Amino acid sequence: MSVVSAEAARRRTFAIISHPDAGKTTLTEKFLLYAGAIQQAGAVQSRKAERATTSDWLELEQKRGISVTSAVARFEHDHTVLNLLDTPGHRDFSEDTYRVLSGVDAAVMVIDAARGVEPQTEKLYAVCKARGTPIITFVNKMDRPTPEPLEILDDLEAKLGIPGQPVTWPIKPEGRFQGVVDRRDRHSYRFEANTPGGARMAQEDEGGVEGVAEVVREELDLLDAVGADIDIDAFLAGEATPVFFGSALSNFGVRLLLDAVVAYAPPPAARPDREDRAHPVDGPFSGLVFKVQANLDPRHRDRLAFIRVCSGRFERGATLVNARTGRKTVAKYAHAVFGRDRETVDEAFPGDVIGLVNATDLRAGDTLHAEGAEVVFPPLPTFTPEHFQTAHPADRSRIKQFRRGVQQLDEEGVVQVLRHDDLGDQAPIWAAVGQLQFDVASWRMAHEFGAPVRLEGTRFEVARATDDASAAELEAMRDVDVYRRDNGVPLALFRSRFVAERIARDHPELALDTLILS
């Protein structure tokens, strides 16, 4: 086995997905705690604002107690390199989450035990299913009033259409959560939360099932009788999901879940290119840019392109080619990112996520490859926006900073910036999938670029991706305007959903799509 293949085999690159407030970012922190990457965890909704969550590095995230950007953390556990991508839970930032899911090999799906499967979880699961991403499920907040565990499993299968295969089972007689039983070896783990908010690892008392309440033993016997054991092949095929129970805030069941990510999540595999040809992990270097982020460190005002290594060995200082532009980039400044912190990376292998500093021509969706080893991976999907605001500089003397900030936010995908051919930069439209994106974009314009903005509503309600031929016809119609993204892709903006549906019905020859693939 080659060095590249051996290193790839010990990588696990995964995302954590959930509905808002299900405990996703808290679980991210606890993984870092149990892997020894941090010494003290800072819960998102800690009563005392003493600790900030490592993955929520943006000041706005720490103020609001939500994740609005994707974060990357690289750490080791049980001789395995884990690349964890924490995604925004809020539905307004689902587009960023979809991009991140293109860079992972597995996902941990967090479900609030009391609320069950919620709408955003269903959407994210659908993306994972379409991509064939295996999913491990963590039923969180078992230390609160919840339905019976069997009801939780029924809800999972009814809403997602995927059977849950319980690996651990909660010990919760009379509604008091005491720990879990590992069904694989019939060991019980009783936990004691020894620090407020679970800032440090919980004490575990390991034993058999003899001392477990009779009702729990009966449930375990029932699961054994119906054959509800984990099927690894079904899991890897996306046809079943291993289920773990616990409480991320109290650290109950976190270690068992982390061990399962190492044991069950697949290592990097051959990735299909745009022509659907598999690109083996031990081939020449290739990587996919899935995210661009500016001002990760406000002191340096730099720009970081996050790249998932798909094949080969990355070496700092190597010359790489951007498949979209044909331009060469010398990877002098490559970093591993941990929240806002970073360290220099000299080499990386398939599955690793690296950040290239100030690679200004890179965009999300770009493919990088070694010289003489051309490959192009499929484009990342961008969804047509549903909210529109015209952006104006609040201070006309800051027009240069305004334009620079707008360009940067567009490149990162914080908002989509649309311009009309006749207006140019005079009145760009900010377009977003969710309203909260405008809040983040405005905050960053004021705090990072020193260019406060004034937003005005528009008359548009719906957008559809189109092409140049259709754009010429659409521009001649009433209640439709054609704007363009920075890369020239035209978008038709409609005054109402009714107008968009009528035109699509009356003119089926026109290109009007909800997905942008460029």
**Contacts (Cβ under 8 Å, ≥6 apart) of 353:** 13, 72, 74, 83, 85, 103, 306, 307, 308, 309, 336, 337
Across the range 486-492, mean pLDDT stands at: 90
Q: Which two tokens stand for residue 200?
A: 């440090």
* pLDDT (0 to 100) of residue 78: 93
Where do we find the tokens 């609040």? 394
Average pLDDT (361-379) is 91
The reported pLDDT for the residue numbered 200 is 65
Q: Give the range among 154-168, 237-251, 385-399, 421-435 with minimum mean pLDDT.
A: 421-435
Taking residue 483's Cβ as centre, other Cβ atoms within 10 Å add up to: 23
The CA distance from 512 to 465, in Å, is 5
Reply yes or no on whether the pLDDT at 481 is more than 60: yes
pLDDT confidence bin for 92, thresholds 50/70/90: low
pLDDT above 50 (res 56): no
**pLDDT-above-70 percentage for the chain:** 87
User: Which DSSP string corresponds to 198-241?
Assistant: G-SPPEEEEE-STTS-HHHHHHHHHHHHTT----HHHHHTTS-E
Domains of the chain (ranges, CATH numbers)? 7-67+106-264 (3.40.50.300), 271-370 (2.40.30.10), 382-516 (3.30.70.3280)
Residue 16 has pLDDT above 50, yes or no: yes
pLDDT for 203 equals 62
Residue 170 CA to residue 350 CA, distance in Å, equals 36
Alpha helices in 82-168 (DSSP H): 94-101, 119-131, 149-160
**CB–CB of 242/137 below 8 Å?**
yes
Evaluate if residue 130 carries a pLDDT over 90: no
pLDDT value at position 336? 83
Percent over 90 (pLDDT), the chain: 58
Higher pLDDT, 58 or 442: 442
CA distance 93 to 247: 25
Average pLDDT of the segment spanning 195-223: 78
| Cα dihedral 384, 389, 391, 392 in deg (nearest 10) | 160
pLDDT at residue 19, rounded to an integer = 84
Model pTM above 0.75: yes
Residue 475 has pLDDT above 70, yes or no: yes
| Cα 44 from Cα 54, distance rounded (Å) | 10
User: Is residue 157 predicted with pLDDT exceeding 50?
Assistant: yes
In this structure, the chain runs to a length of 518
- For tokens 């293949």, the residue is 5
What local confidence, expressed as pLDDT, does residue 466 receive? 94
| pLDDT over 50 (residue 69) | no
Confidence of residue 201 (pLDDT cuts 50, 70, 90): low
Which tens digit of pLDDT belongs to each residue from 382-416? 778 889 999 999 999 999 999 999 988 888 888 99
Q: Please say whether the beta carbons of 73 and 55 come within 8 A.
A: yes
C-alpha 478, offset from chain centre: 39
pLDDT value at residue 52: 46
Q: Is the pLDDT of residue 229 over 50?
A: yes
Neighbour-count burial of 424, counting CB atoms closer than 10 A to its CB (0-12 exposed, 13-18 middle, 19+ buried): exposed
φ, ψ (nearest 5 deg) of residue 479: 65, 20
The packing angle between helices 94-101 and 119-131, to 10°, is: 30
Which pLDDT score, from 0 to 100, does residue 120 have? 81
pLDDT-wise least confident of 9-23, 259-273, 337-351: 337-351
Q: What contacts 238, CB < 8 A, 6 or more positions away?
A: 128, 129, 132, 133, 134, 135, 162
Confidence of residue 326 (pLDDT cuts 50, 70, 90): very high
Q: What is the pLDDT of residue 88?
A: 66
pLDDT > 60? residue 233? yes
Strands 135-140 and 106-112: parallel
Closest alpha carbon to 491 in 477, 503, 476, 481: 481
Q: Determine the pLDDT at residue 57.
A: 40
pLDDT band at 213 (very low <50, low <70, confident <90, very high): confident
Predicted pLDDT at 518: 56
Which structure tokens are listed for 416? 């989509």
**pLDDT band for position 363 (50/70/90)?**
confident
Inter-residue contact 268 to 310 (CB < 8 Å)? yes
Residues 6+ apart with CB under 8 A from 412: 291, 292, 293, 294, 364
* Nearest by Cα to 70 from 54, 94, 91, 88: 88
Q: How many CB atoms lie within 10 A of CB 250?
A: 21
For the chain, the average pLDDT equals 86
Q: What integer is the mean pLDDT of 180-194?
A: 86
Q: How many separate helices (H) and strands (E) can be counted in the chain?
A: 13, 32
Q: Which residue has the higher pLDDT, 153 or 69?
A: 153
**Helix residue ranges per DSSP H, 70-118:** 94-101
What is the pLDDT, as a whole number, of residue 61?
Answer: 47
pLDDT (0 to 100) of residue 44: 42
Q: How far is the C-alpha of 350 from the C-alpha of 2, rounded, in Å?
A: 13
Per-residue 3-state assignment (H helix, E strand, C coil) for 254-298: HHHHHHHHHHHCCCCCCEECCCCCEECCCCCCEEEEEEEEECCCC
